[in-house]
Structure 1
Amino acid sequence: MADDFTHADSVHVDADPDTVWDVVSDVTRTGEWSPICVRCAWDPGDGPRVGAHFTGYNVKPDREWETRSEVVAAERGRVFRWAVNGGRVFWGFEMVPDGEGTRLTETWEFPTAGREFFRERYGDSADAEIAIRAADARSGIPETLGAVKRVIEGQG
């Protein structure tokens, strides 16, 4: 993934893929590693399975907002992916065995539908708003991966 509307980065984690998946698919722990999403809550009765829904609570210095997400891929030890606000943005984690541990990759995609929504919502300032979201993803993914690694390896 390498364009303005997708981004991915990876880190080695000293744990098996199932253990990594169990942590990153527990959205109630998101506040432990995300630089923007301070917490998430599953809808009553939901959990890390395709079709489940959760609400994210996000904070930046200039604003706070909620998102609604639906899990679109959930395969223990392999992938956990969700669509935000009806597919305007996609986030996910992919796990691949890597020696004695796991190669954890976080992905972000801002598809055409999301960009069109921003153009309708923000008008002439849409490109600037889109650029902010892309910059947040590019800086936030390595920060998130480092924090997930520390959490799983017991360093934080």
Structure 2
Amino acid sequence: MAAPLITQSIEIDASAEAVWAVVSDLRRMGEWSPQCKKMIIRNGPVGLGTRTININRRGPLIWPTTAKVVRFSPTRELAFRVAENHTVWSYTIEPNGSGVTVTEKREVPEGKTTKVSSVLVDKFMGGTTNFEAELKLGMAETLDKIKRAAESSGARAA
């Protein structure tokens, strides 16, 4: 059984708009994520209902997934649901005293992924515990890269 929620947060000294510009540009996901190497937008600009094809990599393993944007609130939240394992990945942006706090989450309703996903994680990715620890470290890496991109954009928080 998968953890129902994995979460990681970071403080960013930039405006919500600057952070949103980075987070919502899903074509750049390969720059941020250590696992999702590419997101291909299938239909129009990113918004509610946008569908993507994703190319993922972990060591020598490469696999595709598809996703659909299920929550989209500019400058506040972006979430997409991965069809192959039913997980929901999200980024929330909350103002704080000097900028924003960005939280990345992986949600697994009731801790249940698909049978195929469970078998692959167990047989090829070191088991659920190891894989989820790796995901949490990956979230920290992703958020750090988002922070650097947003802060270097020059749009500091007021």
State TM-score, norm by structure 2.
0.83
Task: Determine the C-alpha separation between the residues in 2 that align with 1:148 and 1:52.
Answer: 21
Cα deviation, residue 11, structure 1: 0.8
* Partner residue, 1:141: 139
- Runs of 4+ in structure 1 deviating by more than 3 angstroms, as ranges, are 115-119, 121-129
The aligned residue for residue 4 of structure 1 is 3
Q: Secondary structure at the match of 1:18?
A: helix
Which residue of 58, 61, 65 maps to 2:59?
Answer: 61
What residue number does 1:18 align with?
17
2:106 counterpart (105, 108, 122): 108
Q: Relative contact order (C-alpha < 8 Å, sep 6+): which is higher?
A: 2
Alignment match, 1:34: 33
Displacement of 1:127 after TM fit? Answer: 9.9
TM-score scaled by length of structure 1: 0.84
Where 1:4 maps in the other structure, the secondary structure is coil
CA distance in 2, matches of 1:123, 1:61: 14
Q: Is the 8 A contact 1:115 1:130 kept in 2?
A: no
Corresponding residue number in structure 1 for 2:156: none
Q: Which residue of 1 aligns with 2:148?
A: 150
Q: Which runs of 5+ in 2 are unaligned?
A: 154-158
2:73 to 64, 72, 75: 75
The 1:99–1:7 alpha-carbon spacing in structure 2 relative to 1, beyond 3 Å, is same
In the alignment, residue 36 of structure 1 is paired with which amino acid?
Q
Aligned-CA RMSD value: 2.5
CA distance in 2, matches of 1:101, 1:8: 20
Any idea what SS the aligned residue of 1:114 has?
coil
Residue deviations 1:6-41, cap 9 Å, x none?
A: 111111111111221121011001111111111111
Name the CA distance, whole Å, in 1 between partners of 2:122 and 2:10: 37
Structure 1 gaps of 5+ residues are none
- Give how far 1:64 is off: 0.4
